[in-house]
Amino acid sequence: MLAPFEYHRPESLAEAAALLRALGPEAAVYAGGTELLPLMKDGLIEASALIDIKAIPGLGGIARGRDSALRIGPLTTHRAIERSPLVREHLPELAALEANVANVRVRAAGTIGGNLCFAEPHSDPATLLVALDARFTLVSVEGVREIAAEDFFTGLLETARRPDELLADIQIPAPAPGSGVAYERFKTHERPSASVAAVIRLDDGAVADCRVVVGSVGVRPLRMGRAESLLNGARPSDDAIAEAAEAIRAEVAPTEDAFESTDYKRQLAATLGRRAIAAALARAGGESDHDR
C-alpha cells in the first residue's frame, strides 16, 4: 500500500524547480512512475511529496537541434522514441534499442528521463548515450547546467544530479561523418544482463576515433579505455577486433549478483564487445572480414 504523500503538478520548469528546492530531498519527481510507484508501494522509497512533471510544456518531444543533434525531452516515452521517424532516420540504433526495452506496457509509460535519472545499472539507453557522448541539461532554482552522460552516472542508482535538479533535456550529437554506431545486448530476464555500445569513426581506412562502453554488468556504464586505445589507429581486421574484445574482458568491472557470476559477465561483455565493434566498423565502411 502507498503511504500518504503530497501531490504537486507544476505547469512550468520554474515552478517545478521551486517545489524541488522547497520540499527538499524527501520529494520525488514523478514522470511515468514505472520505477517509482512500485518501489513506493513496497516501502523501498519513501517520498513525502510527488512532483508530477507531465503538465510542464516542452519536456516531451523529439527534434533536431544545433549541429543536427537529436534533442529528446526527458518525458518522451520509450515507445515514442522507438516509433519516431526522426530517430529512425538519424539514429536507427537508438530506435532499435528502444524497441527492445522492457515490454510494451512499460515502454508506453516509462520515459527516457526516468530511466536515466533512476540509474538502474541495467539501463539500455544509458550505455548507448555514453558511447554517443550525449549531454544532459539539468535545471534548478540556481540555473541551468550541462553535464556529459559519461559524468552523469556515478554509481549504483546514483547520478551527479542534485536532489533539487530536474533533468530537462537530452542532446545526442550526430555521429561524425565516417562513423558507425552499434549496440549489442544479451538478456534472458526483463532487463539486459550485459550490453556493449560502440561508436567508431574511420578515416583513410583506419580507426580515427572510438568510444566503447559496457553496460549492465557493473554499477554503471563504463568506457573501455584499453580497448579504445588498441582500436585507435588500427585497421579493421579480425585480429584487431579480437584483441579489443580481450581487453574488454580484462577491463570490465562486473558485480556479482543472484543471476550471473562475474566470470560469465566478463565473457558476455567480451562477446558482445566483439560483435558491437565488428558491427560499428562495418557500418563505418571498414573492411572488417569478421564473421559475426
Ligand X SMILES: Cc1cc2nc3c(=O)[nH]c(=O)nc-3n(C[C@H](O)[C@H](O)[C@H](O)COP(=O)(O)OP(=O)(O)OC[C@H]3O[C@@H](n4cnc5c(N)ncnc54)[C@H](O)[C@@H]3O)c2cc1C
Q: Which of residues 10, 60, 110, 236 is near ligand X by CB under 6 A?
A: 110
Smallest gap, in angstroms, from Cβ of residue 91 to ligand X? 16
Alpha carbon separation from 90 to 35, 74, 81, 96, 185 (Å, rounded): 29, 19, 12, 12, 21
Q: Does 32 bind ligand X (CB under 6 A)?
A: yes
Q: Which of residues 118, 201, 209, 234 is near ligand X by CB under 6 A?
A: 118
Q: Assess contact for 278 and 290: CB atoms under 8 A.
A: yes
Amino acid at 131: A
Q: Which of residues 40, 82, 87, 115 is near ligand X by CB under 6 A?
A: 115
Q: Does 29 bind ligand X (CB under 6 A)?
A: yes
Distance CA 47, CA 29 (A): 10
Q: Does 35 bind ligand X (CB under 6 A)?
A: yes
Q: Which of residues 10, 60, 113, 218 is near ligand X by CB under 6 A?
A: 113
Q: Does 102 bind ligand X (CB under 6 A)?
A: yes
Our CB check for ligand X shows the closer of 126 and 241 to be: 126
Alpha carbon separation from 109 to 80, 93, 242 (Å, rounded): 10, 21, 40
Q: Assess contact for 240 and 231: CB atoms under 8 A.
A: yes
Span near ligand X by CB under 6 A; candidates 3-11, 110-118, 254-262, 273-281: 110-118
Q: Does 215 bind ligand X (CB under 6 A)?
A: no
Our CB check for ligand X shows the closer of 139 and 240 to be: 139
Q: Assess contact for 131 and 199: CB atoms under 8 A.
A: yes
Our CB check for ligand X shows the closer of 109 and 141 to be: 109
Q: Which residue has the cell 559477465?
A: 265
Smallest gap, in angstroms, from Cβ of residue 26 to ligand X? 12
Cα maximum dimension of the chain: 62
Q: Which of residues 21, 88, 191, 223 is near ligand X by CB under 6 A?
A: 191
- Give residue number: closest CB to ligand X: 114
| First-to-last C-alpha distance (Å) of the chain | 49
The three state secondary structure string of 209-263 is EEEEEEECCCCCCEECHHHHHHHCCCCCCHHHHHHHHHHHHHHCCCCCCCCCCHH
Our CB check for ligand X shows the closer of 153 and 284 to be: 153
Q: Does 131 bind ligand X (CB under 6 A)?
A: no
Our CB check for ligand X shows the closer of 112 and 281 to be: 112
Q: Which of residues 18, 106, 141, 206 is near ligand X by CB under 6 A?
A: 106
Q: What are the grid coordinates assigned to 93, written together?
A: 540504433
Q: Does 27 bind ligand X (CB under 6 A)?
A: no
Our CB check for ligand X shows the closer of 73 and 286 to be: 73
Contacts of 173 (CB under 8 A, 6+ apart): 67, 69, 132, 133, 134, 135
Residues lying near ligand X in the complex (CB under 6 A) are found at 28-36, 53, 74, 101-102, 106, 109-111, 113-115, 117-118, 123-125, 166-167, 190-192
